[in-house]
């Protein structure tokens, strides 16, 4: 058994390291049968709920990437124990309300999800806790979670709205009804986690459905959660407070946001025939696959099944000629992390792809609208930003030949390495270090399937 405290990660140390550039070259078929690592969103939630549960939780398939290890360390720093036993992570939780003050600052590295969800947890504890992150995370907006949590009773020192910050929670949290001003599963989840400590019912109203892993997993651990879907498609999610969570057995399915890069590579490299096993197919996460099917992609879903409360299946992808499409704004939450790789694919399609209503992309690890448009321009692809929309003009072929600035963003790095596998000239990215935040095995896994990366 090994405690997570002994895991060293590359991104959250804030050490200045040398950039690690990498080049992608035009590749032949991407073929074989693979599994992608565990879903990042579900992995964060499994660790957090396990820490808040009484008794032992066993987590199979946890994503071992820097973002998730930041959550694991925070859960440990707050008094739960997290140990690895072979392929399974075992968490001994302290119960809702049973966590204790950490010795030092909680460092969330590059992870928006870890920091925002933990702010929701900390709202219920009357103790000062300081949170920080890397340069990218310290630029990202925290007011979106602090505002509702302050309505519930959280205090924030110095009125700060970005990390680093110090917060003090309370045992007397107020339950609230809160309508999300931005479609964000992180904000919804932070409020629901705080609601576990509040007496009565805490409700989050979401005009557009966002990923619902927190709701599903709260129920799985024994909390009372009601979801009402209204005629206009909005959802009211209510958690009943003073909840008790019981340790559970969680099985984390493969991450569709990581699978997206493999799918894209198989679509653009001629002669590919790739099967990805055990991919999470929760409908709040499948907007990318739906869009690809509209673009003419040959993707078959095989053997749909249930894995501990989440739908999963195997995907078989064969290389395909793609056509440009309009991606409507209401689809954005179900594919929010897949826009950079969709934009890369759109470059290989015939005709224009309009990705509408992508404002949230501006506040991710980088401004992904700007970084994607700049990367496409560096590769000779015509793309423009109109307001919150990204428009890519595909011609069926990509020149490549450029160096892409990844802006400390793992998804920009992986999207442009993928694009390079189909481009005429090699495509370099300036730094692959941040890939470790979500998909550390990306390069060896892709290389094993036939990708020319080096
Ligand atoms: O709740 C989650 O696990 C996530 C929600 C999304 O962020 P927002 O809530 O900011 O949209 C997504 O971009 C992120 O990668 C993971
Ligand atoms: C946006 C992402 O993650 P987070 O918000 O957790 O940093 C992502 O993984 O693309």
Both 15 and 122 in one domain: the answer is: no
Q: Ligand 1 in contact with 185 (CB < 6 A)?
A: yes
Cβ atoms of 355 and 389 within 8 Å: the answer is yes
> Cβ neighbours of residue 275 under 8 Å, at least 6 residues apart?
32, 33, 34, 302, 314, 315, 316, 317
49-91: pLDDT as tens digits: 999 999 999 999 999 999 999 999 999 999 999 999 999 999 9
- CA 231 to mean position of chain CA atoms: 29
CA distances 412 to 6, 30, 198, Å, are 29, 20, 39
Both 295 and 360 in one domain: the answer is: yes
- Is 188 assigned a ligand-binding role in the annotation? no
pLDDT band per the 50, 70, 90 thresholds, residue 43: very high
The strand order across the sheet containing 382-386 reads 326-327, 350-355, 389-395, 382-386
Closest residue by Cα to atom 1, ligand 2, is: 364
Q: Which atom of ligand 2 is nearest to the CA of 67?
A: 6
Q: How high is the pLDDT of residue 308?
A: 86
ipTM of the complex: 0.99
> Cβ neighbours of residue 442 under 8 Å, at least 6 residues apart?
258, 261, 414, 417, 435
Both 10 and 133 in one domain: the answer is: no
Q: How high is the pLDDT of residue 12?
A: 44
- Location of structure tokens 């709205």: 161
Q: How high is the pLDDT of residue 3?
A: 66
Q: Which atom of ligand 1 is nearest to the CA of 183?
A: 11
CA distances 71 to 5, 140, 415, 432, Å, are 11, 17, 25, 22
Q: Which atom of ligand 1 is nearest to the CA of 117?
A: 1
Both 321 and 417 in one domain: the answer is: yes
Q: What is the mean pLDDT of residues 390-402?
A: 97
Site to probe by mutation for ligand 2, drawn from 38, 39, 40 as the one with most ligand atoms within 8 Å of Cβ, is: 40
- Is 140 assigned a ligand-binding role in the annotation? yes
Cβ atoms of 68 and 43 within 8 Å: the answer is yes
State in Å: Cα 113 to ligand 1 middle: 6
Compute the distance between CA of residue 328 and CA of residue 454 in angstroms, rounded to an integer: 36
Which of 251, 273, 301 is where one domain is finished?
Answer: 251
Which ligand number lies closest to the CA of residue 365?
2
Both 148 and 191 in one domain: the answer is: yes
- Is 362 assigned a ligand-binding role in the annotation? no
Q: Please count the structural domains in the chain.
A: 2
Both 16 and 112 in one domain: the answer is: no
Both 238 and 312 in one domain: the answer is: no
In CATH, what number is assigned to the domain containing residue 142? Answer: 3.65.10.10
Both 301 and 155 in one domain: the answer is: no
- Which residues participate in catalysis according to the annotation? 337
Both 29 and 119 in one domain: the answer is: no
Which of 227, 251, 275 is where one domain is finished?
Answer: 251
- pLDDT at position 17 over 90: no
- Is 293 assigned a ligand-binding role in the annotation? no
Cβ atoms of 74 and 118 within 8 Å: the answer is yes
- pLDDT at position 13 over 80: no
Q: How high is the pLDDT of residue 2?
A: 59
What backbone torsions phi and psi does residue 391 show, to the nearest 5 degrees?
A: -120, 125
Both 333 and 316 in one domain: the answer is: yes
CA angle 357, 374, 181 (to 5 degrees): 25
Both 223 and 297 in one domain: the answer is: no
Q: How high is the pLDDT of residue 6?
A: 52
Both 45 and 7 in one domain: the answer is: no
State in Å: Cα 202 to ligand 1 middle: 21
State in Å: Cα 113 to ligand 2 middle: 6
91-143: pLDDT as tens digits: 999 999 999 999 999 999 999 999 999 999 999 999 999 999 999 999 999 99
239-297: pLDDT as tens digits: 999 999 999 999 999 999 999 999 999 999 999 999 999 999 999 999 999 999 999 99
Which of 184, 216, 251 is where one domain is finished?
Answer: 251
300-351: pLDDT as tens digits: 999 999 988 899 999 999 999 999 999 999 999 999 999 999 999 999 999 9
Length of the chain: 454
Domain containing residue 267: 2-38+253-453
Question: Phi-psi bin for 380: left (phi > 0), alpha (psi -120 to 50), beta?
Answer: left
Which ligand number lies closest to the CA of residue 258?
2
Neighbours of 52 (CB within 10 A): 30
Structure tokens at 450: 């036939």
Q: Which atom of ligand 2 is nearest to the CA of 41?
A: 6
Helix (H) or strand (E) holding 47: helix 40-52
Compute the distance between CA of residue 240 and CA of residue 242 in angstroms, rounded to an integer: 7
Mean pLDDT, the chain, as a whole number?
96
Q: Ligand 1 in contact with 411 (CB < 6 A)?
A: no
Q: How high is the pLDDT of residue 10?
A: 42
Across-strand partners of 315?
Answer: 276, 301
Q: How high is the pLDDT of residue 11?
A: 41
């Amino acid at each position: 058994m090994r405690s997570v405290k002994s895991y060293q990660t590359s991104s959250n140390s804030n050490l200045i390291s040398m950039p690690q550039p990498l080049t992608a070259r035009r590749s032949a078929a991407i073929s074989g049968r693979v599994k992608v690592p565990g879903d990042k969103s579900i992995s964060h939630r499994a660790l957090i709920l396990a820490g808040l549960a009484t008794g032992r939780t066993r987590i199979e398939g946890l994503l071992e990437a820097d973002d998730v290890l930041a959550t694991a360390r925070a859960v440990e720093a707050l008094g739960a124990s997290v140990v690895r036993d072979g392929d399974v992570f075992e968490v001994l939780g302290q119960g809702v309300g049973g966590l204790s003050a950490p010795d030092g600052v909680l460092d969330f590295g590059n992870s928006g999800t870890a920091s925002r969800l933990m702010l929701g947890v900390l709202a219920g504890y009357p103790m000062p806790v300081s949170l920080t992150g890397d340069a990218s995370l310290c630029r990202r907006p925290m007011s979106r979670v602090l505002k509702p949590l302050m309505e519930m009773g959280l205090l924030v020192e110095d009125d700060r709205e970005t990390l680093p910050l110090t917060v003090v929670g309370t045992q007397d949290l107020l339950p609230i009804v809160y309508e999300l001003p931005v479609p964000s599963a992180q904000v919804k989840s932070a409020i629901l986690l705080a609601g576990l400590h509040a007496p009565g019912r805490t409700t989050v109203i979401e005009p557009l459905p966002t990923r619902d892993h927190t709701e599903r997993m709260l129920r799985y651990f024994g909390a009372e959660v009601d979801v009402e879907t209204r005629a206009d498609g909005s959802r009211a999610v209510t958690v009943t407070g003073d909840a008790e969570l019981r340790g559970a057995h969680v099985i984390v399915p493969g991450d569709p946001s990581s699978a997206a890069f493999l799918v894209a590579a198989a679509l653009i490299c001629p002669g590919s025939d790739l099967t990805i096993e055990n991919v999470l197919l929760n409908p709040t996460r499948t907007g990318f696959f739906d869009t690809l099917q509209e673009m003419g992609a040959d993707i078959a879903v095989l053997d749909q099944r249930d894995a501990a409360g989440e739908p999963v299946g195997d995907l078989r992808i064969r290389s395909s000629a793609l056509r440009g499409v309009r991606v409507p704004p209401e689809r954005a939450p179900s594919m929010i992390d897949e826009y950079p790789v969709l934009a890369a694919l759109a470059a290989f399609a015939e005709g224009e792809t309009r990705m509408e209503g992508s404002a949230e992309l501006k506040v991710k690890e980088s401004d992904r609208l700007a970084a994607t448009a700049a990367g496409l321009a560096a590769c000779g692809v015509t793309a423009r930003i109109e307001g919150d929309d990204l428009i890519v003009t595909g011609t069926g072929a990509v020149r490549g030949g450029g160096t892409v600035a990844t802006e400390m963003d793992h998804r920009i790095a992986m999207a442009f390495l993928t694009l390079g596998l189909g481009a005429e000239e090699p495509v370099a990215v300036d730094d692959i270090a941040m890939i470790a935040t979500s998909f550390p095995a990306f390069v060896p896994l892709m290389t094993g399937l036939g990708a020319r990366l080096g």
